[in-house]
Amino acid sequence: MTRRYDDQNIFAKIIRGEIPNSTVIETEHTLAFRDIQPQAPVHVLIIPKGPYVDHADFAANASEAELVDFARVTAQVCEAEGVISDGFRAISNAGVHGVQEVPHYHLHILGGRALGRMLARA
């Protein structure tokens, strides 16, 4: 099952150029830009330009060119932001349980400080 894509979401508006962004890397298929409310010294969002709701939708339905480009841009962002040697976290929230705020697939790249455990223990 794939969730329905809403083309009025904020990242769709960023892709269409209706809302400005602080671009880190842009390619034919992928856009990487700085999060407007960074939660770490490095906080970059990587999004496909195609209309995918979440990671599962992108992984299931994107073309090979889109998938490869997204992966390569992710590596380039990590390199450019200098987070490879000390480490980073790549997170993608999905749906209600994942507390996804923007319903366009995005990968958060967080780094530049020790980030603590991934989830608080119950």
Which positions lie near ligand 5GP, rule CB under 6 A?
A: 10, 19, 21, 33-37, 93, 99-102
Identify the active-site residue in 29, 104, 106, 108: 106
Shortest separation between residue 91's beta carbon and ligand 5GP, angstroms: 7
Mark whether 106 is an active-site residue.
Answer: yes
Residue 46 contacts residue 73 (beta carbons within 8 Å): yes
Residue 31 CA to its chain's centroid (Å): 9
| Residue with smaller CB distance to ligand 5GP, 45 or 78 | 45
Render 85-98 in DSSP notation, one character per residue.
TT-EEEE---TTTT
Q: How many CA atoms lie within 13 A of 115 on its CB side?
A: 20
Strands of 1-112 (E only): list them: 23-26, 30-34, 42-48, 88-91, 107-111
| Residue with smaller CB distance to ligand 5GP, 1 or 99 | 99
Shortest separation between residue 106's beta carbon and ligand 5GP, angstroms: 6
Shortest separation between residue 20's beta carbon and ligand 5GP, angstroms: 8
| Residue with smaller CB distance to ligand 5GP, 34 or 72 | 34
* Catalytic residue ranges: 106
